[in-house]
């Protein structure tokens, strides 16, 4: 039985998606607790781009 590494696109997608869920969960908890009042749409777009960028870097780095 051989252990095959997942596809690069799958790896990047899973890391980016996982990071995105964690960041959004933390952001929503902070909003619910009243620590931060409100977040604009630009912040959400920036977080999505950050998660995709980190997923790309980590996915490519883990393949080598």
**Tens digit of pLDDT for each residue in 7-25?**
888 888 888 888 888 888 8
**Phi/psi at 7 (5° precision):** -60, 150
pLDDT digit string, tens, across residues 22-55: 888 888 888 888 888 877 778 878 888 888 888 7
Between CA 63 and CA 32 the distance in angstroms is: 38
Contact criterion met (CB below 8 Å) for 60 and 12 = yes
For residue 27 the two structure tokens come to 């952001």
Residue 33 CA, distance from chain mean position? 22
Contact 56, 20 (CB under 8 A): no
């Amino acid at each position: 039985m051989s252990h095959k590494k997942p596809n690069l696109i799958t790896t990047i997608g899973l890391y980016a998606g996982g990071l995105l869920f964690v960041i959004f969960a933390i952001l929503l908890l902070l909003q619910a607790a009243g620590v931060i009042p409100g977040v604009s749409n630009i912040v959400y777009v920036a977080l999505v781009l950050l998660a995709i960028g980190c997923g790309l870097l980590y996915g490519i780095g883990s393949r080598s």
